[in-house]
Structure 1
Amino acid sequence: MSSFSAVRFMRLVSLAVAVSLVAACASAGPAKPSAAIGALYGQLDVASKGYETALQQSREGDLPASRATLVQSLDRLKVAATQCGNTPGCDSQRFFSTFDHLLRLKDGDFGGAQDLDGDVDPTQAALAVAGKTGAASLPQSQRSVTLLHGQKLSQLIAMNGPVKAALEMWLTQWRPQLMDAYVNYEYMRYQMWPSYEKADLPEALLFGIMAKESGGKVHAVSRAGAAGPLQFMYATGMRFGLVSDNGFDTRFDPAASARANAEYINEQLRIFNDNLEVTIAAYNAGEGRVRRIVGDDTSVSFYDPRIYNELSQETRDYVPAVLAAAWLFQHPDSYNLRFPKLDVVPGSITLQRPASLSELTVCLGSAGGMNDGWFRTLRNLNPRLDPQVSQPVGTALQVPKLLEQAYASRCVDGPWPILADDLHKAAIPVVAAPPVASPAKNRDVKNYKVRPGDTLISIVRKLHCSSVQEVAEMNDLGHRHLRIGQVLKVPVCR
Structure 2
Amino acid sequence: MYRISALLVFLFLAGCQSMSSKPQPPVNNDTIKTEAQSPSASEKAVPPSVQPKQPQHTPQQVDDVWQRIRMQLSFSDSTHPDVMKRVDWYLSHPNYMDEISRRAEPYLYHIVTEVEARNLPIELALMPLIESDFDASAYSHKHASGLWQLTPSLAQYFGVKITPWYDGRQDVFDSTAAALDFIEYLYKRFDGNWYHTIAAYNVGEGRVRNAIAANKKAGKSTDFFALKLPKQTRKYVPKLLAAVHLLKHEKMDFPAIDNSPAISPLPIKGAVILADKSQWQDVQDLNHGVIRFPAIIDAPHLVVPKAKQQHWQQAIAKQQSSDYSQWQHYTIAKGDSLSVIAERYALSVKQLKTFNNLSSDRIRIGDKLILPVLADEQIEHKVSSGESLWKIARHYQVSIAKLKQWNNLSSNILQVGDTLTVFLSRS
TM-score, normalised on structure 1?
Answer: 0.44
1:302 to 224, 228, 245: 224
State whether structure 2 residue 279 is matched by structure 1 residue 401: no
Aligned to 1:203: 122
Distance 1:245 1:431 in 2: 25
Distance 2:182 2:306 in 1: 29
Task: Tell me if structure 2 keeps the 8 A contact 1:349–1:404.
Answer: no
Distance 1:160 1:379 in 2: 42
Specify whether residues 284 and 245 from structure 1 end up closer, same or farther in structure 2 by C-alpha distance, changes over 3 A only.
same
Aligned to 1:279: 197
Q: Secondary structure at the match of 1:201?
A: coil
1:237 to 124, 138, 155: 155
Count of residues in Structure 1 that have an aligned counterpart in Structure 2: 270
State whether structure 2 residue 256 is matched by structure 1 residue 340: yes
Q: Unpaired runs of 5+ in structure 2?
A: 1-49, 267-272, 312-380, 385-406
State whether structure 2 residue 85 is matched by structure 1 residue 165: yes
State whether structure 2 residue 209 is matched by structure 1 residue 291: yes
Aligned to 2:47: none
The AA in structure 2 aligned to 1:113 is: Q
Structure with more relative contact order (C-alpha pairs < 8 Å, separation 6 or more) = 2
State whether structure 2 residue 95 is matched by structure 1 residue 187: no
State whether structure 2 residue 87 is matched by structure 1 residue 144: no
State whether structure 2 residue 56 is matched by structure 1 residue 113: yes
Distance 1:317 1:454 in 2: 22
Of Structure 1 and Structure 2, the greater helix share is in 1
The AA in structure 2 aligned to 1:213 is: E
Q: Deviations over 1:8-61 (max 9, x none)?
A: xxxxxxxxxxxxxxxxxxxxxxxxxxxxxxxxxxxxxxxxxxxxxxxxxxxxxx
Distance 2:78 2:213 in 1: 22
Q: Cα RMSD between the aligned structures?
A: 4.8
Q: Secondary structure at the match of 1:248?
A: coil
Aligned to 2:343: none
TM-score, normalised on structure 2?
Answer: 0.51
Report 1:19-418 matches (<5 A).
Answer: 113-114=56-57, 125=61, 142-146=68-72, 153-155=74-76, 157-173=77-93, 175-207=94-126, 209-244=127-162, 247-295=165-213, 300-304=222-226, 307=227, 310-332=228-250, 335-342=251-258, 345-346=261-262, 354-356=276-278, 359-360=281-282, 378-385=283-290, 389=294, 398-399=304-305, 401=307
Distance 2:64 2:203 in 1: 34
The AA in structure 2 aligned to 1:196 is: V
Q: Secondary structure at the match of 2:304?
A: strand
Q: Secondary structure at the match of 2:305?
A: strand
Q: CA deviation at 1:247?
A: 2.9
Task: Tell me if structure 2 keeps the 8 A contact 1:196–1:206.
Answer: yes
Q: CA deviation at 1:219?
A: 1.2
The AA in structure 2 aligned to 1:346 is: A
Distance 2:205 2:95 in 1: 31
Task: Tell me if structure 2 keeps the 8 A contact 1:285–1:315.
Answer: yes
Q: Unpaired runs of 5+ in structure 1?
A: 1-62, 68-111, 119-123, 129-136, 147-151, 361-377, 406-429, 434-449, 462-466, 481-494
